[in-house]
Amino acid sequence: MLYTLAEKLTSTQRVVIRRLPDNFDLTSKLIEQGFALKTEISLAHKAPFNGLLAFHLHGTKICLAPSVAQQIGIEIV
């Protein structure tokens, strides 16, 4: 079942990216940051008041706005 990065993830869950946004410019920026298909990531932090979401991937942390995270489809490993 596919979820999005903005849905209820916990910091202990590992997920795999299965779908990227339809917007070409946004998708290319995400790929440059390491958010590619089949990449395994996990949630690092959630900022309060619908703030940024931080993710662990490729040995680093990267933040995304919830509106962007909502467009990335994931599968829980």
Question: For 13-53, what is each residue's pLDDT tens digit?
Answer: 999 999 999 999 999 999 999 999 999 999 999 999 999 99
d(CA 5, CA 9): 7
Is a pLDDT exceeding 90 seen at residue 8? Answer: no
Total Cβ atoms within 10 A of residue 44: 15
What pTM did the predictor assign?
0.93
Asked if 17 and 33 touch (Cβ cutoff 8 Å), the reply is: no
Interior angle at CA 28, CA 46 and CA 37, nearest 5: 70
Residue whose token pair is 């680093």: 60
Q: Which CATH architecture has domain 3-76?
A: Roll (2.30)
Range 59-64 contact pairs with CB under 8 angstroms and sequence separation of 24 or more: 60/34, 62/33, 62/34, 62/35, 64/5, 64/35
Report the share of the chain in percent with pLDDT over 70: 100
